[in-house]
Structure 1
Amino acid sequence: MSTFDHAGLIKDINANLAPLRQAQPEAMSGFAKLAQASMAEGAISAKHKELIALAIGISQRCSGCIGFHVKALIKLGCTRAELEEMLTVCVYMGGGPALMYASEALAAWEKMQPAQA
């Protein structure tokens, strides 16, 4: 399985963006508000919106997106079966490159799951 550290990547991205948030608070706040409004419960559930966002992250080959959206899906109670079913759609639509990032998403899922007691 992959040794890619998505939790560390998320931490690094947040740290690297901190100066931009300070330098451009209005723009960064606008992006945060857009994300919050877009991902809120509505006609489509927050979990389904996160599945869509992860699918787009995979299709765009964005490791940071994979990390952030896998983390959100775990928090929202997504099951591995739901994740895997969405990943098959990504592979169907995106071919081999999507399969490589599907593998990355599965590795992130495994590493970011809370420890089982």
Structure 2
Amino acid sequence: MPSYQHPEDLSLARDLAQLAPVEAKAFLGLKGATERADGAIPDKYRELMSIAVALTTQCAYCIDAHAKNAVKAGATREEIAETAFIAAALRAGAAVGHGLLALRLFDKAAAGR
């Protein structure tokens, strides 16, 4: 089965921004603020956090960009591996947390039968 995402899709980024300039400006402003070099969090940790979020949101483009940035920021393969497992554990933890919500809602619905 062919993939829906292709690296060449990134060439459409300028078109997307031009079609929604107000939203693009806001997004790029937020992106720029989070990627600033003068923050309290060092670049390497910003990139590792970005990879963790990209793994949980499953954004292939973000994984690509932030993996490359992580190399430049001095991250190691071991740090990437640990980041992947931390992200996996938190994603699994969220499923358990939502399981608690489902159980409460089930109990509430069952009580109202």
Interval of TM-score (by shorter of Structure 1 and Structure 2): 0.5 to 0.7
Taking only aligned residues, the RMSD between alpha carbons, in angstroms, comes to: 2.3
How many angstroms does 1:89 deviate by? 0.9
How many angstroms does 1:21 deviate by? 2.1
How many angstroms does 1:17 deviate by? 1.9
Say if 2:91 is the partner of 1:91.
no
Higher RCO (Cα < 8 Å, 6 or more apart)? 1
1:50 aligned partner: 47
> Secondary structure of the equivalent of 1:93?
helix
Which structure: larger Rg? Answer: 2
Residue identity (%): 27
1:60 aligned partner: 57
- TM-score norm. by structure 1 comes to 0.62
Instruction: Provide the rounded CA distance (Å) in 1 between the counterparts of 2:68 and 2:9.
Output: 14
- TM-score norm. by structure 2 comes to 0.64
Question: Could you list the per-position Cα deviations for residues 48-97 of structure 1 after superposition, in whole angstroms to 9, with x for gaps in the alignment?
Answer: 111111111111122122112112112222111211121221222234xx
Which 4+ stretches in 1 moved above 4 angstroms? none
Alignment partner for residue 73 of structure 1, among 70, 73, 76?
70
Instruction: Provide the rounded CA distance (Å) in 2 between the counterparts of 1:92 and 1:52.
Output: 14
